[in-house]
Structure 1
């Protein structure tokens, strides 16, 4: 008996958007988080996933992890390539660009490209490099200081 896949909270994963709106040339968006052994750790990332899907229902958006959680980055890239995807935008939801962005992510992209040469992956900068994210974190810190 095969079990239905579950997300980090034990719930069935968010269903992908209606596939009739998508084809292999429709770009995909892959959000990437670090991962943790603690399932509740993923809640904020799953909230980001849900918000992006709600804003852009025509866009195929997935969430993957580098460590300890599923799907892994490698799995997500290989699935996209196997489905015939030609363009994938990978957004690392990291505050800084450390070793994962410098080594691990590029290696996973190279490995996926070897198996699926049609797949072009554009890797965004770490989320923490965005002035919008910096401003949101600063505003949050200031709200915390008020009280």
Structure 2
């Protein structure tokens, strides 16, 4: 049987019904209305390796007495179950840190494609975890991040 494209408003399913004790079957057509909605996102939606870059940001107080410029790039691997690994190189006011590898990293994805992640690094230029909010866009090919701690910056990741 050759597959045909499914109409967005209706789905046709062939249902075999058992009609007697001898298990004779007759095909029957059943129509189901499909709501016009996007499929829900989950941790599995972003599973895999992503490359990211953040062009210009600032580390703000209380992490530093005066704001300093920062930029970063690297990779993040999402395991599909809420765990991740990040490898990054960071430029803070002209001083290079890295490559840095996360010692812990977790993430969650909401059904609408938004989510958040928390990672900790050894040797990072600032103390404490790195926290971000994100949104999955472009048919799950891109993630846009916003730092939610003392680093004022955004960055973008694309599937590798």
Q: Considering only CA atoms, is the larger Rg found in Structure 1 or Structure 2?
A: 2
Instruction: Indicate the structure with greater helix content.
Output: 1
Same fold (TM over 0.5): no
What is the TM-score of this pair, normalised by structure 2? 0.23
What is the TM-score of this pair, normalised by structure 1? 0.24
Instruction: Indicate the structure with greater strand content.
Output: 2
